[in-house]
A = this chain, B = another copy of it.
């Protein structure tokens, strides 16, 4: 098969019209779809997960994160920006330091849930090293 988006209907015959019709009617706006995907994308990076998990324990300045996660200051800072832009962390300034904390109640819930899910599924050890 070689479906162009424009001529799917004529070529593909294994179609349940009622199902397709219903799904098309109930479809979400493209904008919402992208927002949902982007939301998850933020959680889809190990550095950001580490940062978020660290902040679950309380606020931390950038230097703390750099040392605790053993990564460069630049890498941490770039990822903090992503988290900021998506309203997952907030910050306050204290002299030279910038102190970050979780911004969102949902974050906690979401991380806990996903960990339960994964641990349950893979039987992974919770704490490591």
Contact = CB atoms under 8 A, between A and B. Distances in A.
Interface of A: 1, 3-5, 8-9, 12-16, 19-20, 22-24, 26-46, 48-50, 53-54, 57-58, 60-64, 66-68, 70-74, 87, 96-97, 106, 109-111, 113-115, 117-119, 121-122, 124-129
Copies of this chain: 2
Contact of A61 (B16, B24, B49, B111): B16
A127 B28 contact: yes
Nearest to A52: B36
B115 A68 contact: no
Contacts of A126: 28, 32
Given A36-B118, A124-B32, A3 B66 contact: yes
A22 to B, nearest CB: 6
Contacts of A67: 8-9, 12, 15, 20
Contacts of A26: 57, 127
A125 B29 contact: yes
A20 B118 contact: no
Contact of A5 (B50, B71, B96): B71
A22 B125 CA distance: 19
